[in-house]
Amino acid sequence: MDYLNAILERKRADLKKILPLEGKLRASAILRNDYAGFRTAVDLGENRLSVIPEISRSYPAQGLPHMDMDIRCQYSMFVQGGAQGVSIAVEPQVYGGSWDMVSVISKISSIPVMARDVFIHPVQICQAIVTGADAVNLLVAAVPEKELEPLYRMATGLGLDVMMEVHTLKELEAAMDLEADFVCINNADPHTLQANPAVTERLIEELPASVTVLSAGGIRTVEDALRMLDAGANGVILQDELAHLDIPQEFMEAILALRAE
């Protein structure tokens, strides 16, 4: 299955349903001014990693089916584990997500919330703002270059932290052309979800020290996390890596205890 293209096809179909609401959503988004700073929260300095767990109901990379778990319980465990921020997988078909999940968690969260999705139109950015997100990602692989800058400028202009999510050097260069200061290097191929942490080690060398860098995908052991820290990452996004753990807090705490060599 080509995950990215399947998601993009659904996103384009979904746009037809929400485009009539664009004016109302944009007006509400403009009025919001209570953002928690996601980027600053996940930057603990150059010798430590922050941990950003992702709330999801499906984990396709692990072959785990849709699970009806209480997202409030997930959130509570992640906060107990020391999370600096929380990501919420919004996409419904692959990750079992929804905008309701963002709304529920944002209302109770003491840490910044990111709505992580495939955003291809400004109305989706407004939807993220209205439902309570403090940050969004922009998946560079999903957006034509000529459309990337307007989305980025619009989101940052409305007050959101925007994490540019990249998988290749070409995508990273597109993010740097926008002078982005917050980047996620995703080690997982967006089409197959197969992950290799060496992607972060390779691409991070192209980034200036002023950029806050998160790594995502394939970080299954504390040793994997240490590789990301030694490469220069500021934090890790943990997705399916936590799904099979009865006590995810222990894995999170072990990563938070790491110090760069």
Question: Do the beta carbons of residue 23 and residue 126 sit within 8 Å?
Answer: no
Q: Tokens for 144? A: 């034509």
pLDDT tens-digit readout, 114-142 = 999 999 999 999 999 999 999 999 999 99
Query: Which pLDDT belongs to residue 94?
Result: 87
Cα–Cα distance measured from residue 24 to residue 21, given in angstroms and rounded to the nearest whole number: 5
Query: Which pLDDT belongs to residue 57?
Result: 87
Q: Tokens for 10? A: 């659904």
Selection from 93, 180, 103, 96 nearest residue 134 by Cα: 103
The yes-or-no verdict on residue 59 having pLDDT over 80 is no
pLDDT tens-digit readout, 143-171 = 998 999 999 999 999 999 999 999 999 99
pLDDT tens-digit readout, 236-247 = 999 989 988 889
Query: Band of the pLDDT at 67, cuts 50, 70, 90?
Result: low
Cα–Cα distance measured from residue 36 to residue 99, given in angstroms and rounded to the nearest whole number: 18
pLDDT tens-digit readout, 174-230 = 999 999 999 999 999 999 999 999 999 999 999 999 999 999 999 999 999 999 999
**DSSP assigned state of 188:** B
**DSSP assigned state of 69:** -
Selection from 82, 79, 84 nearest residue 112 by Cα: 84
Cα–Cα distance measured from residue 236 to residue 256, given in angstroms and rounded to the nearest whole number: 10
Buried b (16+ CB within 10 A) or exposed e, 186-195: bbbbbeebeb
Query: Band of the pLDDT at 66, cuts 50, 70, 90?
Result: low
Q: Which residue reads 């988004």 in tokens? A: 29
Question: Do the beta carbons of residue 41 and residue 52 sit within 8 Å?
Answer: no
Query: Band of the pLDDT at 61, cuts 50, 70, 90?
Result: low
Q: Tokens for 69? A: 């778990």
Cα–Cα distance measured from residue 251 to residue 81, given in angstroms and rounded to the nearest whole number: 8
Cα R_g (the chain), whole angstroms: 17
Query: Band of the pLDDT at 1, cuts 50, 70, 90?
Result: confident
The yes-or-no verdict on residue 112 having pLDDT over 60 is yes
What is the number of other CB atoms lying within 10 angstroms of the CB of residue 39?
A: 19
Lowest mean pLDDT across 30-34, 92-96, 216-220, 228-232? 92-96
Cα–Cα distance measured from residue 212 to residue 73, given in angstroms and rounded to the nearest whole number: 29
Query: Band of the pLDDT at 27, cuts 50, 70, 90?
Result: very high
The yes-or-no verdict on residue 65 having pLDDT over 60 is no
Mean pLDDT of the chain: 94
